[in-house]
Amino acid sequence: MLQPRRSVVRPGAPGDDGRRRFRGLRDYYVIEAYARSLKEAHWLTGAGTARSLEEHALRSSVAPGVERVRVAGQSLELRRYPLYPDGGINGGHVLALVRDGARIIYVSVHGYEHKDVAIAMLVDLTG
């Protein structure tokens, strides 16, 4: 459930601009970025509890194809999400993720041909 909040700092603190902001669950995050070097120009990365990520950021109406690989000493899961809207926010993406207990770290890149990019970025993030 979203909790209203006036700003990213405590009310009245230096930097408080008085705008209303909303804070959701703090058990995961997702960042979206754009890169002209990629054909479809965007990718996402996120981390958090497996439960929350699977329920929110990694869900799709049609199950993605899954492959398991070992890279740089890590066991990675690769997912190929169906095209949007069936694949949800990861529609048409290839996604690489690593599990660390109850947590997941992942990189999702638009365009199936970018599997190597997703793997390289994830390995770098978790290195």
Domain boundaries, the chain: 27-126
pLDDT profile of the chain (127 residues), mean per 10: 47 55 68 79 90 92 96 95 94 96 94 94 92
Please give the pLDDT value at position 14.
57
Please give the pLDDT value at position 42.
85
3-state secondary structure of 52: helix
Please give the pLDDT value at position 11.
56
> Rounded CA gap, 59 and 14, in Å?
39
Please give the pLDDT value at position 97.
97
Backbone φ, ψ for residue 96 (5° rounding): -115, 135
Please give the pLDDT value at position 4.
47
Q: Using CA atoms of 114, 115, 117, 123 in order, give the dihedral in degrees to the nearest 10.
A: 170
